[in-house]
Amino acid sequence: MTLHSQFSADLPAERVHLAAAYRLIAEFGMDDSIFTHISARAPAEEGEHAFLINPYGLRFDEVTASNLVTVDIDGEILRDEYGAGINKAGYTIHSAVHKARPDVHCVLHTHTVAGVAVSSLEEGILPLNQWSLEFHNRVAFHDYEGIALNLEERERLIADLGDKNIMILRNHGMMTCGRSVGEAFSAAFNLERACKAQLAIMGSGMTPRFVGEELAEFTARQSESWGDKQAASGKPDPEWEAYLRFIKKRQPDFDV
């Protein structure tokens, strides 16, 4: 029996994978009450240029494949089984990326303590370890403009993001983009560990050992190469498959 045969056959894979990401973020303590969001492009039959996002008011551990909301780029709700609509601030950030970056399938935004702490530092992610080197010279920055309710902010956010897939939202949190839900989740999980490690290192009172520019760039390219090869292969990502097995055991109702 294949892994995917264990999931509901009645729901598209896009919904199942996105619901899994919500549950994983909750499982690893990276959620923030009913706030922050993960979005993914909706199945074609649910709307052209539409994306899926969590219903407003649900905790991440309550999100399921069927209660994800379908919304189009203009903010029109196309499907909402839960009936509470969506968070306007989440729409502002996620619609901006989905509209401007057709290469991005999934956008994941977090407000973790470690991520918010690093987003509040001028230096951002420092080249201190293998987790952080994945992001070396590959992080965009967007200055804080208050709660993201102003749709005009979308243009500035996209201009700051450019072609990068990692963004530090200054004084706010972190955002990762991926060609798949699994890729966006893996980046977010590693980014969180990089932030936690950085804060632990800088708070230790001992002397940090920085990785030199040449080696840091080499390591970042190694990470990129692995991701590119995985995406080009067309095969399931073994790490994401492992996470799916994990969350199916821990929170088995996510795919209903």
User: The domain that contains 214 carries what CATH number?
Assistant: 3.40.225.10
CB-based burial label for 214 (10 Å; 0-12, 13-18, 19+): exposed
Average pLDDT over the chain reads 95
Residues 92 and 74: their CA atoms lie apart, in Å, by 10
Q: Is residue 83 part of a domain?
A: yes
Kindly tell me if the per-residue pLDDT of 114 is higher than 70.
yes
Instruction: Decide: 187 and 176 in contact? Cβ < 8 Å.
Output: yes
Residues 244 and 20: their CA atoms lie apart, in Å, by 7
Domain that holds residue 169: 11-250
- Of the chain, the percentage scoring pLDDT greater than 90 comes to 93
Q: What is the pLDDT of residue 89?
A: 87
* Amino acid type, 65: A
- What digits encode the pLDDT tens for the residues 199-254? 999 999 999 999 999 999 999 999 999 999 999 999 999 999 999 999 999 999 99
Q: What is the pTM of this model?
A: 0.94
Q: Is residue 256 part of a domain?
A: no
Q: Is residue 118 part of a domain?
A: yes
Q: Looking up tokens 């994401």, which residue turns up?
A: 240
Q: Is residue 3 part of a domain?
A: no
Residues 27 and 167: their CA atoms lie apart, in Å, by 23
Q: Is residue 255 part of a domain?
A: no
Longest dimension (CA), the chain: 56
Task: Look at the alpha carbons of 225, 109, 179, 61 in this order and tell me if their dihedral is positive or negative.
Answer: positive
Q: Is residue 212 part of a domain?
A: yes
Q: Looking up tokens 């692995």, which residue turns up?
A: 226
**Total structural domains within the chain:** 1
Angle CA 124–184–24, to nearest 5: 105
- What digits encode the pLDDT tens for the residues 148-168? 989 999 999 999 999 999 999
Q: Is residue 2 part of a domain?
A: no
